[in-house]
Structure 1
Amino acid sequence: MSKKKLQNSFKEFCKKNSFENNNHQIEVINLLEKFINPRKTFFDKFFKNKDKLCFYLHGNVGVGKTMILNFFYDQLKINKLRLHFNEFMINFHDFRHDKEDDNSIRSFVKDLKKQYELIYLDEFQVTNIVDAMILGKLFEIIFSENIKIIITTNTKLSDLYKDGLQREQFLPFISIIKNYSIQKELSLKDDYRLKDFNEEQRLYYPLNESTLFMINKDFRKLTRDKKKEIKKINTKGRDFIINNFYDGILRFKFSDLCDKNLGAEDYINISNISDHIFIEEIPIFNDDNSNQQLRFITLIDILYEKKIILSISLENDLNNLGSSRKHMQTFKRTISRLIELTKKT
């Protein structure tokens, strides 16, 4: 597709989905097109400049990174894979666990190479030392196989895993990405998802008898013709019981999902059987419940990825939910996504 045709298609896509488009987004679309279809100049050939294998798109919450990449990804007529970064790493660790040999990383990449020319990893973030220690080697091998990678993230490259445990061992990964990537920041003044925040939301706050009555009423309306079941989900030997399952409509308390030692894979398995989830009694966040907040951030990332409808009750409105100091920046994305997932259409 020509550059002009791609730009026009993007504008039509934005219009159809009621998204605003601007020159910053068009610039990203143009850079992505060049990344996929590099056109070598005489000087590139003369100096043997290598094509970049990674497109690293970063920017604040709600500027349209995922929206742009979803559009662009759908235009590509190549063998490709799109995954949330959490899912990608779960697949990687599962593969290594099953292989249990010294060449498991290379074997994993070889399998990718057989199937895909391009891998798009959405919401890239590094929060644990296990991933931090292995990413350098993994991506070094990925690039050695000439697999192209597109990354979206809220974090600029130099700030990845900032203040993380043994971060000095993570720095080679940053160098590898820097050498192989086109880095682009997407910035807008406003979060495009906040434009229609005055529309009705499936939000119930504060926590009192009135809001409990309202969320119960909406839940009964959706489930009155459905049969209640108790579902059991097993994730690597861990059983998780869902006591309120109504043919794709699930109901939980916040503590059911975030006080327990659940992770991304548990949340993915829950989302796979969900169309609409009710989450009640979401608290105000602070340093004392930062672990629960991190689980909640992971949960909402996955539900957003899977486009699960949400109804939630909260201790306070979204703008006054607080945050731990550790997760303050990341939580802005969560708030933005909650606005979108709870919007009544």
Structure 2
Amino acid sequence: MSGVLAAYDALVGAGELRADGEQRAAAVRLDDLARRLEDAEAPSPLGGLLGRLVGRKPQVPRGIYLWGGVGRGKSMLMDLFHANLGIAAKRRVHFHAFMIEVHEGLREARQSESGDPIPPVAAAIAQDLRCLAFDEMVVNNSADAMIMSRLFTRLIEDEGVTIVTTSNRAPGELYKDGLNREHFLPFIALIERGLDVMPLNGPVDYRLERLGGIDTWYVPLGEAATARARDAFFRLTDYPPEDSAHVPSADLDLGGGRRLHVPKSFKGVAVFSFKRLCAQARGAADYLAVARAYHTVIVVGIPVMGPENRNEAARFVTLVDALYEHRVKLIATAAAEPDALYPAGDGRFEFARTVSRLMEMRSADYLSRGHGSD
């Protein structure tokens, strides 16, 4: 394996990355962790029967919590770490998708056996796994907050799994002002006790730089607009365009057993059609779930709406409000500019505020803000 640090330095040397002191410090720490995980797999002189007789457990390398604002290169560093970690017992997953799996596992455990469901779920997750890497750790609901402390204590301290995660927030800012947050505080203490917390919070937003020179609102509808939105997706996610047929999808948990299918979902960027979001019966809670889960949302096929589309227009207003309040970047293909999308119909007065917000969401000031509610 070439190593995380060597791979990072090679990208800087090739001009694909700008030299960044905080990024390199993170690469040094990730490189050290990768080597510790690899060394732990090497045969031990106290292995086998002798190791068991003296009661020596393999040392679990300390994990990393890498946090910082949007566009600081967290996902890029996670890419390098996972790609250059030379062990088979590793897994990388988006944190939101992981928590969906956890809740499903807890439901199955409760149905199949009595007692505490956390230990069997943690054991199942940890089976044949030594390093679990997350993208975008974020906590948006009390159901997650209530179980995370016990689950991750079990994974780290009992199952010996090394956790590496990125987040837009410092540990103490997770689930801030959330319902029953007192039950979540032990998880914050666990992170600060069990992981190295590294800030990556400098002034340069590299994701915003990738959007430099392109608009975020493409009109009219057609092949040209679609191609530009598609290009924005690949710029933001680093997903190879030549493999576009295999972009991952997701099913977003809306609560109450409901799911929203996300046709393209990668590195915090989601792609939806207008029909999927606004032509179906949806409410504010659905749009809040989208806004919390994704830092960038691409909506394609926004039509001009009239009085007969008042329901779609009302849902679009609610969608934009949720995205705006959580500082989500919106990229869209549309039949018209915002001020011509809904020229007449019930709620036209309220739609004027949406027009204003859509115009602000295209500004450099708005695009430079980090993801999350105020």
Using structure 1 for the length normalisation, give the TM-score. Answer: 0.64
Match of 2:5 in 1: 7
* Aligned: 1:292 with 2:322: yes
- Matched with 2:27 is 29
Q: CA deviation at 1:197?
A: 3.5
Using a 3 Å threshold, how does the CA distance of structure 1 residues 16 and 98 change in structure 2: closer, same or farther?
A: farther
1:140 CA drift (Å): 0.8
Partner of 2:160: 146
Task: Give me the identity figure in percent.
Answer: 23
Please report how far the alpha carbon of residue 150 of structure 1 lies from its aligned counterpart in structure 2 after TM superposition.
0.5
1:34-113 correspondence runs (5 A): 34-38=32-36, 52-78=61-87, 79-100=89-110, 101=113, 102-113=115-126
Cα offset for 1:261? 5.1
Name the CA distance, whole Å, in 2 between partners of 1:182 and 1:234.
30
CA distance in 2, matches of 1:104, 1:171: 21
Q: Which has the higher contact order (CA 8 A, sep 6+)?
A: 1
Which of 137, 143, 157 in structure 1 is aligned with 2:171? 157
Following the alignment from structure 2 to structure 1, what is the Cα–Cα distance between the partners of residues 227 and 29? Answer: 48
Query: Residues of 1 paired with 2:324 and 2:216: CA distance?
Result: 22
How far the C-alpha of 1:330 sits from its partner, in A, is: 2.3
Query: What residue is the counterpart of 2:234 in the other structure?
Result: none
Partner residue in 2 for 1:131: 144
1:132–1:170 CA contact under 8 A, matched in 2 = yes
Return 53-62 or 8-17, whichever deviates more: 8-17
C-alpha distance in 2 between matches for 1:294 and 1:137: 34
1:165-244 → structure 2 map (5 Å cutoff): 165-201=179-215, 203-204=217-218, 211=219, 214-216=220-222, 218=224
- For residues 127 and 288 of structure 2, what CA distance do their matches in structure 1 show? 27
State the shift of 1:187 in Å.
Answer: 2.5
Task: Using the TM superposition, give the Cα deviation of residue 94 of structure 1 relative to its aligned residue in structure 2, in angstroms.
Answer: 0.7
Query: Does the 8 Å contact 1:59/1:65 carry over to 2?
Result: yes
- Contact conserved, 2:5 with 2:24, CA < 8 A, in 1? yes
- Over 3 Å counting, the alpha-carbon distance change for 1:217 and 1:51 in structure 2 is closer
Backbone CA RMSD of aligned residues: 4.3
Matched position secondary structure for 1:126 = coil
Q: Deviations over 1:94-125 (max 9, x none)?
A: 11112214342211221122231111111101
Give the drift of 1:160: 1.3
Q: CA deviation at 1:53?
A: 3.3
| In 2, Cα distance between equivalents of 1:331 and 1:265 | 12
SS of structure 1 residue aligned to 2:371: helix
Could you state the TM-score of these two structures normalised by the residue count of structure 2? 0.60
Secondary structure of the residue that 2:164 maps to in structure 1?
strand
1:27 CA drift (Å) = 0.9
Residue of structure 1 equivalent to 2:243: none
State the Cα deviation string for residues 244-296 of structure 1 (Å, max 9, x = none). xxxxx9732553487465489999xxxxxxxx96153799xxx9878733998
In structure 1, list runs of 5 or more residues that go unmatched.
41-49, 205-210, 223-232, 243-248, 268-275, 301-309, 333-345
Contact 1:263/1:295 (<8 A) preserved: no
- How many equivalent residue pairs? 273
User: Does structure 1 residue 20 correspond to structure 2 residue 18?
Assistant: yes
Shift of 1:180: 0.6
